[in-house]
């Protein structure tokens, strides 16, 4: 049986402008790989409501699970929660359980739970809260979409909260061969082995060091024995 599939929606003008480098996709991909969920698609959209709504609808329909990052903070440009609610036709408002979490957090911190901070307690009807042990303000899950913060430390904590509840498959395994020859010299061999091991993914990633061309050949799959067999054949045919 094929592994469940996932997509990620990264939201924020700061990513598209180059002001902020996204780290969450890399982290999520690693964690999903270990859990046996195939991350098949990542989209990045600006802080534009129609774009967010259209993207989350499309991704939700195409994949088993969707993760979003960004846009659930206390400022005016944090519009993700409202967009997710509209995408699924759900009412959104301040929810008592989310408000209680924030009230306790800010009471302990000696800060006021003002109107801006209270925006983070706005949760769509029918959504389940995602625990945030870092800064308390929760994410939420609505249908198959997990809505998370963009701050990497908080995003990572929310992923850790969500993953145990998801059905995974077989973890993705890999082996790598370093070949000190250019891609053009090894392409025919790679193609032949890829045809013989159609159940595996064989990727070729070129590099150049001190003017010398080479490539890392990566064999991926869920069956360790098949990966071993393909890697052994590649090593033999490439004289490694």
pLDDT (0 to 100) of residue 193: 96
Rounded CA-CA distance 139/155 in Å is 9
Residues 120, 207, single domain; the answer is: no
Rounded CA-CA distance 44/78 in Å is 15
Length of the chain: 240
Q: What is the pTM of this model?
A: 0.87
Residues 96, 155, single domain; the answer is: yes
pLDDT (0 to 100) of residue 211: 83
pLDDT (0 to 100) of residue 66: 98
CATH number where 205 lies: 3.30.70.600
Distances (CA, A) of 215 to 13, 35, 176, 205: 35, 28, 10, 5
Rounded CA-CA distance 127/88 in Å is 11
Rounded CA-CA distance 184/192 in Å is 14
Q: Which two tokens stand for residue 128?
A: 């389940």
Cα within 13 Å of Cα(65), Cβ side: 23
Cα within 13 Å of Cα(144), Cβ side: 18
Give the residue from 147, 165, 183 where a domain finishes: 165
Residues 30, 50, single domain; the answer is: yes
DSSP annotation of 23 reads: -
Residues 102, 10, single domain; the answer is: yes
Q: What is the pLDDT along the chain (240 residues), one digit of tens a residue?
A: 789 999 999 999 999 999 999 999 999 999 999 999 999 999 999 999 999 999 999 999 999 999 999 999 999 999 999 999 999 999 999 999 999 999 999 999 999 999 999 999 999 999 999 999 999 999 999 999 999 999 999 999 999 999 999 999 988 899 999 999 989 999 999 999 999 999 999 999 999 988 889 999 999 998 999 999 999 999 999 998
Rounded CA-CA distance 17/15 in Å is 6
Residues 75, 32, single domain; the answer is: yes
Q: Which residues pair with 220 in a beta bridge?
A: 174, 201
Asked if 150 and 27 count as a contact pair (C-beta separation under 8 A), the reply is: no
Residues 124, 18, single domain; the answer is: yes
Give the residue from 165, 195, 217 where a domain finishes: 165
Asked if 155 and 163 count as a contact pair (C-beta separation under 8 A), the reply is: no
Residues 43, 19, single domain; the answer is: yes
Tell me if residue 202 falls in helix, strand or coil.
strand
Residues 74, 184, single domain; the answer is: no
Residues 150, 230, single domain; the answer is: no
Domain that holds residue 35: 5-165
Residues 58, 155, single domain; the answer is: yes
Residues 146, 191, single domain; the answer is: no
Handedness of CA 118, 122, 128, 133 (dihedral sign): negative
Give the residue from 131, 165, 199 where a domain finishes: 165
């Amino acid at each position: 049986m094929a592994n469940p599939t996932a997509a990620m929606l990264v939201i924020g003008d700061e990513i598209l402008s180059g002001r902020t480098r996204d780290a969450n996709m890399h982290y999520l991909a690693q964690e999903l790989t270990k859990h046996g969920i195939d991350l098949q698609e990542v989209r990045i959209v600006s802080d534009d409501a129609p774009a967010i709504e259209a993207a989350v609808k499309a991704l939700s329909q195409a994949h088993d699970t969707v993760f979003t990052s960004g846009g659930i903070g206390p400022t005016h440009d944090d519009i993700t929660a409202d967009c997710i609610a509209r995408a699924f036709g759900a009412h959104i408002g301040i929810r008592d359980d989310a408000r209680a979490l924030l009230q306790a957090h800010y009471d302990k911190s000696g800060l006021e739970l003002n109107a801006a901070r209270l925006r983070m307690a706005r949760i769509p009807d029918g959504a389940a809260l995602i625990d945030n042990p870092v800064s308390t303000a929760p994410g939420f899950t609505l249908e198959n979409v997990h809505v998370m913060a963009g701050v990497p430390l908080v995003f990572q904590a929310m992923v850790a909260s969500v993953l145990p509840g998801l059905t995974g498959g077989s973890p993705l395994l890999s082996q790598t061969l370093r070949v000190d020859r250019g891609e053009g010299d090894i392409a025919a061999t790679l193609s032949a082995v890829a045809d013989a091991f159609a159940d595996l993914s064989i990727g070729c990633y070129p590099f150049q060091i001190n003017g010398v061309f080479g490539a890392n050949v990566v064999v991926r799959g869920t069956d360790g024995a098949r990966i071993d067999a393909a890697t052994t054949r590649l090593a033999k045919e490439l004289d490694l």
